[in-house]
Structure 1
Amino acid sequence: MPSYTLIGKIGEGGMGVVYRALQLPLERPVAVKFLPASLMARPEALPRFMREVQICTRLSHPNIIKILDCGEMNGQPFYAMELLEAQTIRQLLKERGRIPVAQAVEIFHQVLEALEYCHREGLIHRDIKPHNIMVDGHNHATLMDFGLVKILDASGLTHSRQILGSPHYMSPEMLRGETVGSQADLFSLGTVVFEMLCGQKAFPGKNIRDIGRSILYGEPPGLSSLAPDCPPGLVKVIEGCMKRALEHRYQTTGEVLRDLNRFEAGGAPRGRTGETGDRPAPESPR
């Protein structure tokens, strides 16, 4: 069984602490994620951590993080994963303000490919956000953090009354605690691409209540006005991901990829199959 020498902390999140480490005896650089002792008392923490390990080890895709090993070190559960010399989209936005159109499109395409693979495997990620997408110096994108992943049932839906994830990037159906499908990931990815291009969140707010009202009853600022260099065809694809009503949002990752491919080839995106336009936003409760 391999052992590890920890070198230094890389980062810390709500469900784990990540260290740079060497895997011995290979002396292979890896990243090691621990479930902190402070979370062990929560009944859902360890099962969620282990589910992430079990699911990620069965996935094999160039744009999804690779899990190499798992175990326990000094009483703390951990897993080792490939070490990425990369930055999160959040870090890129903090440094640059916004991401150029060509680079954003390339990242968009790669994450869609990763999500299409996940959805074919019967999984939805449920936590697509700038912190969970890493981009290296060659603009290779990697989707990570599968701690909230859910397995779809035979209907293509997953059932949960819990509101989990990052509010700014949640789909309306997730915020309402409803049954969700793969379209929830598309909505979240649309908000991330919007933010890459504009340098600001599609649905701002000071707290979860304000953010929720913005997502459920408001409209994001016009993408074309905030990012005038964003071509109309690309705007249509992103807005198609961010439709509030499920029946007007893209139905599958394949539909989005089809339209993004058409845009990249110089053609016009067709929109969602059978699209007739979005319905008006419901009146906000007083």
Structure 2
Amino acid sequence: MGKFGDWNIIKTIGEGGQGQIHLVKNEKGEPSGVFALKKLTNKNRIQRFEKEILAGMKLKHPNIIEVIEYDLENKRPYLVMKYFEEGDMTNLNIVSFSLNEKIEIFRKICEAVAFAHKNKVIHRDIKPENIFMENQFEPIVGDFGLCFFDDEERITNSDEVIGSRYYMAPELADGKFEDMTYSADVYSLGKLFYWIITGKIFDREKHNDNKYKITKNEKTICFLINEVLNKTIIENPENRLQNAFELVNEINNLEKRISMGANSIGPNIPLECIFCGVGKYHKISGSRNGIAGIETSNGFNFSRNKEWTILQCDYCNNIQIFSPLIKDSTNKWEKK
């Protein structure tokens, strides 16, 4: 069927707007095994092809696809990468995975994107089709053809829409690069997280609409997950988590809170009163200085630079005061 350098084509396994993908084997036997060779057929996409190669050579991470070999001087430019027999995430029966498995897979994806951000690379096209799977539970972030290197010149290309309709950050919809930040990937990761959890997807920021909101199931764990979605799937980039590092921290905290059976700290979550066991707590205030200077019976002082929330039981009027910003042993629910 032909060859590229030392690579013999076994069969063609895919074709898209940029080129063809062939299953290949090295005729010298090293490296051994079968690989995927992407051949550029659309010369108008040469810049994307070069970016995919550069990212694949630069980003050495266990959850990022690696470019093994490339040749841009060939009449038919090509790159060689690992072949993933299981395909991408769309081939998974994602709804059959346990919640812990879903969150673990997503955390690894976030860590890979965080590594890209550390190296000043914005992916811009994060979606299930661009996440390959290895051994069922190991995600590999691939297809960096639309990536943006943060030290590139920022220009406007209004003729080209970047990314997938369902996963693309709103600020990328008109092709403008001037205001693009790492938070564009955070938005896409938030949409991907929703898809991983539910197996469904939607346009724009509709995760809290009645049709799509996961909190219709009133389990506390759904509210905990929704807290992450509310920090990522936001139209204004300035109001989102700013990069994948921050999202990794959120996912680590989510895993910790789930494992310890923590409650959501959202203002509309009816938590059972720990004093009477009958009523539900409801938020009655939240301010930075409203309770500053108060000291508890155990000697704890409320700092003026923390934001405190006051909850009151609707049956016995028991009061709970806590701060979601404190992460040490003082951040506990205590009977008052």
1:282 is matched with none
- Return the alpha-carbon distance in structure 2 between the equivalents of residues 24 and 121 of structure 1: 34
CA offset at residue 159 of structure 1?
4.5
Q: Mapping of 1:169-188 within 5 angstroms?
A: 169-178=167-176, 179-188=179-188
- Return the alpha-carbon distance in structure 2 between the equivalents of residues 216 and 231 of structure 1: 17
1:25 is matched with 28
Deviations 1:99-156 (A, max 9, x none): 54222211210111111111110110000011000122340110000000101149xx
- Return the alpha-carbon distance in structure 1 between the equivalents of residues 40 and 49 of structure 2: 7
1:122 is matched with 120
1:148 is matched with 146
- Return the alpha-carbon distance in structure 1 between the equivalents of residues 205 and 118 of structure 2: 28
Is the 2:185–2:243 contact (alpha carbons within 8 Å) kept by the matching residues of 1? no
Deviations 1:143-193 (A, max 9, x none): 000000101149xx9544342221111111111444211101111111112
CA distance change for structure 1 residues 55 and 270 in 2, over 3 Å: closer, same or farther?
Answer: farther
Is the 2:214–2:222 contact (alpha carbons within 8 Å) kept by the matching residues of 1? no
- Return the alpha-carbon distance in structure 1 between the equivalents of residues 182 and 57 of structure 2: 21
1:46 matched to 2:46: yes
- Return the alpha-carbon distance in structure 1 between the equivalents of residues 141 and 218 of structure 2: 25
CA distance change for structure 1 residues 59 and 96 in 2, over 3 Å: closer, same or farther?
Answer: closer
- Return the alpha-carbon distance in structure 2 between the equivalents of residues 100 and 239 of structure 1: 22
Identity %: 27
The one-letter code matched in structure 2 to 1:258 is N
- Return the alpha-carbon distance in structure 2 between the equivalents of residues 251 and 66 of structure 1: 26
Normalising by the residue count of structure 2, what TM-score does the alignment of the two structures yield? Answer: 0.67
The one-letter code matched in structure 2 to 1:186 is V
1:106 is matched with 104
The one-letter code matched in structure 2 to 1:257 is V
Is 193-202 or 70-79 further displaced after alignment?
Answer: 70-79
The one-letter code matched in structure 2 to 1:246 is P
Is the 1:98–1:195 contact (alpha carbons within 8 Å) kept by the matching residues of 2? no
CA distance change for structure 1 residues 159 and 189 in 2, over 3 Å: closer, same or farther?
Answer: farther
The one-letter code matched in structure 1 to 2:227 is K
Answer with 1 or 2: which has the greater Rg: 2
1:249 is matched with 240
- Return the alpha-carbon distance in structure 2 between the equivalents of residues 227 and 67 of structure 1: 45
CA offset at residue 260 of structure 1?
0.9
Query: Unaligned 5+ residue runs, structure 1?
Result: 204-214, 276-286
Query: Unaligned 5+ residue runs, structure 2?
Result: 267-305, 308-336
1:9 matched to 2:7: no
CA distance change for structure 1 residues 147 and 229 in 2, over 3 Å: closer, same or farther?
Answer: farther
CA offset at residue 234 of structure 1?
2.1
2:91 is matched with 91
Normalising by the residue count of structure 1, what TM-score does the alignment of the two structures yield? Answer: 0.78
CA offset at residue 11 of structure 1?
2.3
- Return the alpha-carbon distance in structure 2 between the equivalents of residues 158 and 115 of structure 1: 21
2:59 is matched with 59
1:222 is matched with 213
CA distance change for structure 1 residues 158 and 133 in 2, over 3 Å: closer, same or farther?
Answer: farther
Is the 1:259–1:270 contact (alpha carbons within 8 Å) kept by the matching residues of 2? no
Is the 2:35–2:80 contact (alpha carbons within 8 Å) kept by the matching residues of 1? yes
Over aligned residue pairs, what C-alpha RMSD do you find? 3.1
Counting matched residue pairs gives: 253
Structure possessing the higher relative contact order (Cα contacts under 8 Å, 6 or more residues apart): 1
CA offset at residue 84 of structure 1?
2.2
- Return the alpha-carbon distance in structure 2 between the equivalents of residues 77 and 224 of structure 1: 49
- Pick from 232, 254, 257: which aligns with 1:263? 254
Is the 2:10–2:23 contact (alpha carbons within 8 Å) kept by the matching residues of 1? yes
2:39 is matched with 34
- Return the alpha-carbon distance in structure 1 between the equivalents of residues 150 and 191 of structure 2: 23
CA offset at residue 48 of structure 1?
1.6
